[in-house]
Every structure is written in structure tokens, then in C-alpha cells.
A and B are shown apart, each in its own frame.
Chain A
Amino acid sequence: MQIELTKASYSYQAGSPFEAPALHDIDLSIESNELVAIIGHSGSGKSTLAQLLAGLILPTKGTVLIDGNKPSKGGVFRQVGLVFQYPEQQLFGETIFEEVAFGAKNYGVPEQKIKHIVVNALTEVGLPPQLFIDRSPFSLSGGQKRRVAIASILAINPQIMILDEPTAGLDQRGRRWIIDLIKRLREQQGKTIIWISHNMEEVAELAKRIVVLSEGEKILDGNPHLVFEAEQKLLASGLDIPQPAQLVRRLRQRGKPLSAQAITVEEAYQEIAAWLGGGGIV
């Protein structure tokens, strides 16, 4: 399932005196089963892009196509599931069952299948259905609420999942859990993952491809090494390069023989250890 944006632009309140351009001339194509990270400062257009990809809004110019099609008549791309930022703030169901079933019911999934779908979705996010299905979502911890929110998207079985800052505000354990879930969804269920983030370390470690937005334009698109090499461009648009990459760069400026390719903690450690070891110091 391929996503194709051609010269897609979006302005809020287009045509009015308050017109506010948010995205400008975006060309972007994403293949089936890719994991793409989208990064950019606040206001760079990340969330607008996510809504375009989900078909929640239509481009004011250009096109957004999924497998060659525009959004269905109801206005959304049924193949796309969008997990908003801090989704736990939008829970409303009296029970977790009601919460997780809501989207699938709206999409017309027959009643007799719903229970099965909810049970599967909760199992997938690691919340044993027998313990959770009848509880109120408001009795859960922050991390668990977020998993319920993700389960309610999984229940509509989207081929493409867009997650807006899925790990923000979680501790390491919660973060690790979400990251593993997303990896699993891609590797075992073949989903396409679009991951919106401002955590450079996380992005460096996970994504094979990073798209950088600034002021509504796509300024970089490529593998992490290529993207983080463009340090000046990133700094100028209010972003940073990952700390391990900064460390390596600083040492290189001091004439130390390290590879500029090292951008993660593990890579930086390997490079530094090899350099120190090679110097005959133990």
C-alpha cells in the first residue's frame, strides 16, 4: 500500500483573510511496510501532515493518494489509523470494551465480530482482556491508557499507522514497550509505520528513513546518517542532532580519528573504545 503526496499544500482557513499556510509543496512517497520518522520543531507542519495522510483534511493544492486513490466518500482513508499525541486525554468510554470497540463499530464491523476484535487488540497491547475489558479506562495508569488508545486504533485494522509522539511523557519502561510494539506491528503484521517524534536519539536508533519538516516544507529526506550530517540545516530549523553524534563530531574537530557515521550510543561507544584502545591505553 503506497502513499503518494504530489505537491501537496495545506492552508488553514484558506481563502479567508486569516489564511495560515501550514504545508507547502510536499512531495513524498512512502512504500508499503516502511518505517518513516517525521521530525520538525513545533509548528513545522508535522501534525498537519499526519492529518493529510489520514484523510482528515484534504490538501488545498496538490494531491494525497493511497494506492492511487483519494480518501473515500466519508472523507477518511480507511486504511490509515492515526494515534494522536497524548491519546489518553481523549478517552471517553465507560468501559475499556466500549472505548476499543468504538472505531470498529463506526466502521460498520458486525456486532458478533466486535468482541473478538477487542480481545485481540487488547492482547496485542499487553493488557489481558479478562482483567481489563470491563474496567473504566480512567482507572488506568498513564502508560496503560495510552495502550488502550493504541488498541482502539488496532481494532480498525489499519494497514498504515501514524503515531504522533507515541512515547512522549512515558518512562523508559513504557517507552521501550511502545517501541517494541511498533516494531512488532511492522515486522509481523506488515504494517507501514509513520512515526512523528522530536526525540532525536530515539529516531536515530529506530528509523531507516527520516523526513525533516521546517516551516511547512520538506527540507531533508533520507537515512539517519545523511540527515544528521546536515547539522547546520537542522540547527537552523530549531532541531538538534543526537547527543552521541554531537560527541563524536566534537572529538573529530579535535582531530581524533572517529567515523562521522556514529550517531547512536552504541556506535559512539564502539568508535571511542576503538580509538582509545588503538592508542594503547587501557
Chain B
Amino acid sequence: MIEIKGVYFAYDEDTPVLKNINLNIERGEWVAIIGPNGSGKSTLARQINGLLLPDSGNVCVEGLSVLNSEQLWQIRAKVAFVFQNPDNQLVATSVEDDIAFGPENLGLEPELITERVENALNITGLQQLRNKPPHLLSGGEKQRVAIAGALAMAAEYLIMDEPTSMLDPHLRTQVLGAVRQLHANYNMGIVYVTNILEEAFLADRVVALANGVIVAQGTPERVFADTTLISRLGLELPPVCRISSLLADAGYERLRGIGDLDQLVEVLCKLS
């Protein structure tokens, strides 16, 4: 479990970015963190693997604390991070070397490394690209390499900071597909930072931040049914959700909160 306990954080003293954040995330859970630009969501994500350390409060992963420098390294082996810009995190000269980089640093046996790299290539659909230099890949492929790296590390949690915001819709689907695999087959805990609410719908739980404070949390359906909150946050519901809430406002109350296209089609057909 990830335990975020009473975390305060400021980049400069006058302007705290996180103010008393308390949040637990279970292994195998998929949590989306949403909020406008500047709400503190990326900062919060960076607390989880100690890229940034809390000014007060504590963050623990499986009982290990980020404030203990010995334990921090163990945490980093359990918690992988995928950044917004895919160019910021690829280090090796070929896809497979890049995926092997993490496990090699853990000092694993070569056979085990090979096995993990093969498996990661398979799961993320990158077999064909294994010998390619990462800089020749598309943005979506690069993000999948980063995700494959997390899998090869046998990370227990995957933190993603707006991993698809630089990708077109087609590549976005590819990346989300890889995340789903890791979540479903490896019981990985996913912390997914985004301001694209369509993607937040994939989560078990949505946590909404504004000005460094958690202002709402719950299932996507519940949080997104509160249209006042969403627009106060400066966010926009996905198109399907906007249509269902317009219809709900016009008297078709049972459509409220529906964000899935198939579901809306079915419910509408039953209505008429």
C-alpha cells in the first residue's frame, strides 16, 4: 500500500503546493489524479517515489518511508515513473537495452534479466522494435518502452504523469492498452495523473485536486456526476458525459453520469 500522510510541500516558502494531503492507494488499485494546471497533481505524483520529498508529513510504500535514504532506493525499485514527455526518460541505444537498464541496475542474474525483458516486450507489443534506437520511435512507442521498463523492474506501482498528452488518439489507445495489461495481469497499482477526464474513467477511483487540497474523491461516475465541481475545477467532461448530463438536466435523470458510449446508446434505446 502507498500511504501519503499529512504531506505539505512548497517549491518556495511562500506558496505551498500541497497542503496536508492524506491518501492511501492499494496495490492493484487504479487511481486517477485530476485537477487543473497548477493544482499540485504532478507534484503529488513525485512524492510517491521520492523524486520530491515532503516538507512535513510522510510517504510510505509497503511500509518503507521516502524519508529514510536506505529505504528510498527500495521504494524506487517498487515504484516506476512514466513522464509526460517520452524523450525525457529513455537512456539506451536500443529498445531492449533500455528495458534491461533497470533490472541490470538491480544486479539480477543475466538469465532472469533476459526473461523479464522478453516478457515485457511481449506484453507491450514491442517485439518487432526490439533493436530499434529509441529516438526513431513514435511518441506512443516511446511511452510503451517506458512502461515495459517498469514491468521488467517488476515494479509494484506505476506512476504516470500525463503520459498521453503529447500523443495523437491512435497512439493514446496503444499506451492505455499497455497500462491495462499491467493492471489486469500483474496486479500493479496505477497512479494516473491526467486532465483528460476520458482517461480518468478507466480508474477505480478518481481523486480531484485544487490548490493543493483534495476536493473530491470516489468512483469516476460519482465524481463526474457533479458537473458544478468539474467546471469549478476548470476541467471539461468527456463529450459523451456532457451529452448525458445535458439530457439529465432536461429531465432524463437516469442518464446522469453515463460516460461510456455503448452504455449511453443502450440506455437511450430503452428509453424510447
Whether A275 pairs with B138 at a CB distance below 8 angstroms is no
| Partner-binding segment picked from B102-110, B184-192, B239-247 | B239-247
> A-facing mask of B226-260, CB < 8 A → 1, else 0?
00000100111011101100110011100000000
Q: Does A131 contact B (CB under 8 A)?
A: no
Given A42-B139, A142-B37, the answer on whether A239 and B265 have CB atoms closer than 8 Å is no
Q: Does B171 contact A (CB under 8 A)?
A: yes
CB contacts (< 8 Å) of A265 on chain B: these are: 239, 242-243, 246
Query: Distance (Å) between the CB of B161 and the closest chain A CB?
Result: 11
Whether B168 pairs with A251 at a CB distance below 8 angstroms is no
Q: Does B38 contact A (CB under 8 A)?
A: yes
Whether A42 pairs with B171 at a CB distance below 8 angstroms is yes
CB contacts (< 8 Å) of B38 on chain A: these are: 141-143
What is the bound-complex CA distance between A171 and B243, given in angstroms? 20
Given A238-B170, A246-B261, A250-B261, the answer on whether A276 and B37 have CB atoms closer than 8 Å is no
| Partner-binding segment picked from A96-104, A224-232, A266-274 | A266-274
Closest partner residue, chain A, to B35 (CB atom): A171
CB contacts (< 8 Å) of A168 on chain B: these are: 165-166
Q: Does A41 contact B (CB under 8 A)?
A: yes
Whether A242 pairs with B236 at a CB distance below 8 angstroms is no
Query: Distance (Å) between the CB of A174 and the closest chain B CB?
Result: 6
Whether A247 pairs with B264 at a CB distance below 8 angstroms is yes
What is the bound-complex CA distance between A201 and B239, given in angstroms? 8
**Contacting B261 at CB < 8 Å: which of A174, A175, A247?**
A247
CB contacts (< 8 Å) of B195 on chain A: these are: 171-172
> B-facing mask of A243-282, CB < 8 A → 1, else 0?
1101100110010100000000100110011011001011
**Contacting B268 at CB < 8 Å: which of A86, A175, A251?**
A251
How many A residues touch B, CB cutoff 8 Å? 40
Q: Does A170 contact B (CB under 8 A)?
A: yes
CB contacts (< 8 Å) of A172 on chain B: these are: 36, 195, 231, 234-236
**Contacting B169 at CB < 8 Å: which of A141, A142, A240, A250?**
A240
Query: Distance (Å) between the CB of B260 and the closest chain A CB?
Result: 11
Q: Does A75 contact B (CB under 8 A)?
A: no
What is the bound-complex CA distance between A171 and B236, given in angstroms? 8
Whether A238 pairs with B168 at a CB distance below 8 angstroms is yes
Whether A171 pairs with B234 at a CB distance below 8 angstroms is yes
Query: Distance (Å) between the CB of B224 and the closest chain A CB?
Result: 13
Whether B268 pairs with A174 at a CB distance below 8 angstroms is no
Whether A42 pairs with B240 at a CB distance below 8 angstroms is no
Q: Does B167 contact A (CB under 8 A)?
A: yes
Whether A171 pairs with B264 at a CB distance below 8 angstroms is no
Whether A281 pairs with B162 at a CB distance below 8 angstroms is no
**Contacting A269 at CB < 8 Å: which of B167, B235, B243?**
B243
Given A246-B261, A254-B269, the answer on whether A269 and B169 have CB atoms closer than 8 Å is no
CB contacts (< 8 Å) of B243 on chain A: these are: 244, 247, 265, 268-269, 272
Q: Does B134 contact A (CB under 8 A)?
A: no
Q: Does B272 contact A (CB under 8 A)?
A: yes
Whether B138 pairs with A276 at a CB distance below 8 angstroms is no
Whether A247 pairs with B265 at a CB distance below 8 angstroms is yes
> B-facing mask of A22-61, CB < 8 A → 1, else 0?
0000000000000000000111000000000000000000
Closest partner residue, chain B, to A44 (CB atom): B168
> B-facing mask of A191-214, CB < 8 A → 1, else 0?
000000010110000000000000
Q: Does A169 contact B (CB under 8 A)?
A: yes
Closest partner residue, chain B, to A255 (CB atom): B269
Closest partner residue, chain B, to A86 (CB atom): B166
Given A170-B37, A250-B261, the answer on whether A41 and B170 have CB atoms closer than 8 Å is yes
CB contacts (< 8 Å) of A268 on chain B: these are: 243
**Contacting B269 at CB < 8 Å: which of A42, A251, A269, A281?**
A251
List 16 A-B pairs, Cβ < 8 Å: A42-B138, A42-B167, A143-B37, A172-B36, A172-B236, A173-B234, A174-B37, A239-B169, A243-B238, A251-B268, A269-B243, A269-B246, A269-B247, A276-B252, A276-B271, A281-B271
- Which residues of A line the B interface, CB within 8 A? 41-43, 86, 141-143, 168-175, 198, 200-201, 238-240, 242-244, 246-247, 250-251, 254, 256, 265, 268-269, 272-273, 275-276, 279, 281-282
- Which residues of B line the A interface, CB within 8 A? 36-38, 84, 138-140, 162, 165-171, 195, 231, 234-236, 238-240, 242-243, 246-247, 250-252, 261, 264-265, 268-269, 271-272
In the complex, besides A43-B138, A247-B261, A265-B239, 7 extra interface pairs with C-beta distance below 8 angstroms are A169-B166, A198-B169, A240-B169, A240-B170, A243-B261, A250-B265, A251-B265
